[in-house]
Amino acid sequence: MSQDLIRKILITLGFIFAYRVLAYVPVPGVNIDVIKEFFDSNNANALGMFNMFSGKAAERLSIISLGIMPYITASIVMELLAATFPALGKMKKERDGMVKYMQIIRYATIGITIVQAVGVSVGLGGMTGRGGENAIMLDMTTFSAVAAASMLAGTMLLMWIGEQITQRGIGNGISLIIFAGIVSGIPSAIGGTINLVNTRELNFLVVIGILLVILATVGSIIYVEMGERRIPVSYSRKVVLQNQHKRIMNYVPIKMNLSGVIPPIFASAILMFPSTIMQASTNPMVQAIHDFLNPNSYFFNVLTFIFVIFFAYFYASIVFNAKDISENLKKQGGFIPGIRPGEGTALFLNEVASRLTLWGSIYLGLISTLPWVLVKFMGVPFYFGGTAVLIVVQVALDTMRKIEAQMYMNKYETLSAVGL
């Protein structure tokens, strides 16, 4: 393993450690015991899911308790706008325009963070513990200002950490932050399950059933994620002779799941956003909507399935550009046997990608919802969803691929340096 790769891995681990330290820095003026008590009693609803994605930072009301979700929500809005308005889409493709595009996302993140922070502050205003203790120890106006400033600073720090990991470390920074948050909750989840078995609130056979569901989910994810359709590419004899000492691509690989881990993350961000704002309201209609968005309801999981399929198609259309691939093949003198070069190739690739995305989106939707249905039938008293398993496995696979690619690149650079 090269020094450069070791440096990148250490940088990534260092930033993840900094993220975990921030999870233990509370917002000033809160009674952490009351907050912890509240989240323990709401472990099976939207708050439990929100707490899981924040890496248990929410139950400590840390400065990063909102997690990276405001940034993801802002990114979703901008992606939808870029797909709707051609001028914004053009800005995103240009080098200078991309800088401006990212700046708009950051400003949108600030706005979303402030709205969510104020919503959380109002919700905490009337909260008391079992012994009658207040959740906040400051007056409402002061606490709202302090909480908004603290959470905004925390979210901005988290966004910066994510960008630094992407630029200087290994893997996608935002995905790794969510990965670290979910994984950090595994030891306490195991401990909680053991306690439930010891107190006979949970049958040991049910625990075995949960483990089988998790193993089946992980196996399915790895099997599908490693799968791809390889479309053969032929080259003219002249091109082959000119490039006989070079490696030329003899197939176009199209993954079954082109959109990766993005659809379930986007779906979770959208469904959790209203829950964090509406939890503070005492209005019966708002409370009814909040109950509908409970992760332990069938309605929530139907919505998750629909959103995952939508974002799978939407994101696949962004990451897979059939027109560029067909033009590159044409320039290199390559063609797909039986398909006209140029526009014909682009249409064929789009058709294949659409068929694969159909099955890939259904797979993502089932993985995000089916484990929850199976576990619900077992009568488990806590939230468990396939989305968390999907994110953990996909991010782990993606990071491993990037480490492997870096190792191969370093190997080729070493061989080139010695004249081989």
User: Can you tell me the mean pLDDT for 388-417?
Assistant: 76
Which SS3 state, helix, strand or coil, does residue 75 take? Answer: helix
What's residue 15's pLDDT? 93
**End-to-end Cα spacing for the chain:** 19
At 260, the amino acid letter reads G
Percentage of the chain beyond pLDDT 90 is 8
C-alpha distances out from residue 14 to 20, 28, 56, 162, 377, Å: 10, 26, 19, 12, 41
What's residue 152's pLDDT? 92
User: Can you tell me the mean pLDDT for 333-341?
Assistant: 83
Name 274's Cβ contacts closer than 8 Å, sequence gap at least 6: 289, 290, 293
Q: Where are the domains of the chain?
A: 3-417
Of 175-179, 210-214, 407-411, highest mean pLDDT = 175-179
**pLDDT tens profile 246-305:** 545 578 888 888 888 788 877 877 777 676 666 655 667 777 777 777 766 778 888 888
For residue 157, pLDDT beyond 60: yes
**pLDDT tens profile 65-108:** 888 888 888 888 888 788 778 888 788 878 788 888 889 999 99
Q: To 5 degrees, how large is the angle CA 109–CA 11–CA 13?
A: 85
On average, the pLDDT of the chain sits at 80
For residue 240, pLDDT beyond 60: no
What's residue 1's pLDDT? 63
What's residue 225's pLDDT? 83
Q: What CATH homologous superfamily does 3-417 map to? A: SecY subunit domain (1.10.3370.10)
SS3 assignment for 318-372: HHCCHHHHHHHHHHCCEECCCCCCCHHHHHHHHHHHHHHHHHHHHHHHHHHHHHH
User: Can you tell me the mean pLDDT for 5-29?
Assistant: 89
User: Can you tell me the mean pLDDT for 169-188?
Assistant: 84
Which SS3 state, helix, strand or coil, does residue 136 take? Answer: strand
The residue among 290, 331, 347 whose CA lies nearest residue 339 is 347
The residue among 153, 106, 136, 184 whose CA lies nearest residue 280 is 136
**pLDDT tens profile 299-336:** 888 888 899 999 888 888 877 888 888 888 888 777 88
Q: In angstroms, how far is CA 142 from the centroid of its own chain?
A: 34
What phi and psi, each to the nearest 5 degrees, are found at residue 197?
A: -70, -45
User: Can you tell me the mean pLDDT for 103-120?
Assistant: 89
At 394, the amino acid letter reads Q
Give residue 245's pLDDT band: very low, low, confident or very high (50, 70, 90): very low
Which SS3 state, helix, strand or coil, does residue 255 take? Answer: strand
Q: At what angle do helices 46-53 and 173-184 cross, to 10 degrees?
A: 120
Give residue 244's pLDDT band: very low, low, confident or very high (50, 70, 90): low
Name 101's Cβ contacts closer than 8 Å, sequence gap at least 6: 78, 82, 88, 91, 92
Give residue 380's pLDDT band: very low, low, confident or very high (50, 70, 90): low
